[in-house]
Amino acid sequence: MITVNLDVMLARRKMSLTELSERVGVTIANLSVLKTGKARAVRFSTLDALCRALYCQPGDILEFTEEGEDA
């Protein structure tokens, strides 16, 4: 299972979802879907923009865990 840690990265960078939305050019609604883990896919261009804005690696945002493991 893939877990999205966008909220963790936002907290570490002391950045709001609104600010991130403005920096990456993605709507707050779409970022919210990603943040809550309800997104079914993410474009590499979006992941690239997120990593640039948050100064992080893709693995800081996306995490793989085995089914049944507590994240």
Q: Looking at domain 2-64, which CATH architecture does it have?
A: Orthogonal Bundle (1.10)
> What pLDDT digit, counting tens, does each position of 6-58 carry?
999 999 999 999 999 999 999 999 999 999 989 999 999 999 999 999 999 99
Which of 70 and 3 is assigned the larger pLDDT?
Answer: 3
Hey, what are 45's tokens? 């261009």
What pTM was estimated for this model as a whole?
0.88
Distance between CA atoms of residues 43 and 39, nearest Å:
11
Q: What beta strand segments (E) does 1-71 contain?
A: 2-4, 62-64
Sketch the domain layout of the chain as residue ranges: 2-64
pLDDT at 66 over 70: yes
